Structure 1
Amino acid sequence: MPDSNFRDRPDAERLRVIRSQYADANIKTVQTFLDLQFVYRDVQAKYEQVLSDYDLSESRFILLMFLAHAPQGLPVSALAEKLGVTKATTSKLLDRMTTGGFVEKIADSQDKRAVVIRLTPSGRACLSRFLPVNFQTINSLLGRLSADEQGQLDLLLTKMIASPVDEKV
């Protein structure tokens, strides 16, 4: 599989050739999209490296944060819903996190057949060590943007998220 962080992006000439072959190819839009992909991949790779230094993935980190804000614990179904994945996917993730000592499965006091997932002291300690680094990393990744530029980026990203994708494709 090719490197997903490709460096050979189409230049203006290659995009003009594409434009001559495909009438719907808006060169500026394509360049902006490619730049967005490039930035996303670069930021994601840097962030994943920081996460891995703490034996975390993005999903593990998010799960720990959900559980940190639910001291009584949460059922697997609630965690799956919050993550936007299936219960089976969540269960696999939780099995690895249980083995790693980040979380524990406790019998539900209301329904003995069900389990509630709680953060362990080890999971809480991991979060305590990671969160300062997390915020330093985020500051570093966005640090080249002024406060006004960060506000503009936020508005643009919000606008993109709110725009429905054309279903014709």
Structure 2
Amino acid sequence: MRFEAFPTREELEEHARLVPEIEPSAVLAMLRISQAAEIIRSSINDVLTKQYHLSQGKLRVMIVLHQNPEGIAPSQLAAKTGVTRATITTMVKRMVRDGLATVVIDQEDKRGKKVSLTARGRQFMDQVLPGHYLRISTLMNRLSEDEQAELIRLLTKLSQP
């Protein structure tokens, strides 16, 4: 998937004449970053969706659950995955229905709950994660380790408030 609707440098320079703060090279760089992110996300998500019927959001939730075998409060799960509590509630209900997760009363805080993967959910993740991480590694191996470190540094700098 390639975007063909990029503005030209000339078009951006025309806009910059009206709004001098517009930097054509910055706009083109960001559009290229967005295009690359969409292509990468699509190539990875296609396998997850087609082979495992797994969305990126559900994968994030299941990874956090996989990392917390003792269980985790739904509010913490929402915070760690960047989704609302309502979304977590819906996702967890579906995962419980599908036998991938369980919800129990938190033994330390009797008012709270903890979500954890079932044996079936853990087995599913043990099946999904190696291939998922291999696809990511294969993609990232196009860059040297130094280039990967620089990319991480630049993306971190770019995404800070």
Decide: shared fold, TM above 0.5: yes
Aligned residue runs from structure 1 range 18-167, under 5 A: 18-52=15-49, 53-110=51-108, 114-162=112-160, 164=161
Whole-angstrom CA distance in 1 between matches of 2:147 and 2:40: 17
1:167 alignment partner in structure 2: none
**Cα distance in 2, alignment partners of residues 100 and 71 from structure 1:** 18
Instruction: Tell me by how many angstroms 1:111 deviates.
Output: 5.3
* Gap runs ≥5 in structure 1: 165-169
TM-fit CA distance, 1:38: 0.8
- Which portions of structure 1, spanning 4 or more consecutive aligned residues, are displaced by more than 6 angstroms? none
TM-score, normalised to structure 2's length? 0.86
Distance 1:31 1:57 in 2: 30
Separation in 1, partners of 2:97, 2:14: 54
Aligned with 1:74: secondary structure?
coil
**Would you tell me which structure has more helix in proportion to its own residues?**
2
Could you say if the C-alpha distance between residues 153 and 128 of structure 1 is closer, same or farther in structure 2, counting changes exceeding 3 Å?
Answer: same
Distance 1:113 1:154, change over 3 A: closer
Count of residue pairs brought into register by the alignment: 160
Identical-residue share of aligned pairs (%): 31
TM-score by length of 1: 0.83
- 2:102–2:115 Cα contact (<8 Å) kept: yes
